[in-house]
Amino acid sequence: MANIKSAKKRVLVNAKKAARNKSIKSGVKTSVKKVEAAIAAGDKAAAVSALNAFKAEMGRATSKGVYKKNTNSRKVGRMSKKVDAMA
């Protein structure tokens, strides 16, 4: 354990940030599962609405700094491709 006051603070702050990032990533993973479930069920309308929710979730995660911009683009692009392939 850290002895210096600033190091103790860093430990606390990093734990708080890690918990926030974990929560946001969990939300993104949940929205991915919803899109993939709609694709598996063959429901185009549900897949499109789930995709829009996923895009919003990813956008929020990216703006908070959890994901980088290119990671966001890659994940959204791949998911959009899967939904488009349903037609």
Tell me how many domains the chain contains: 1
Tell me, yes or no, whether 76 lies in a domain: yes
Per-residue confidence band for 87, with pLDDT thresholds at 50, 70 and 90: confident
Per-residue confidence band for 2, with pLDDT thresholds at 50, 70 and 90: confident
Residue 1, pLDDT above cutoff 90: no
Q: Which residues of 36-69 are buried (b: 16+ CB within 10 A; e: fewer)?
A: bebbeeeeeeebbebbeebbebbeebbeeebbee
Task: Write out the residue range of the structural domain in which residue 66 sits.
Answer: 25-84
Share of the chain above pLDDT 70, in %: 100
Average pLDDT of the segment spanning 44-58: 96
Average pLDDT of the segment spanning 30-58: 96
8 A C-beta contact, residue 2 and residue 11: yes
Tell me, yes or no, whether 8 lies in a domain: no
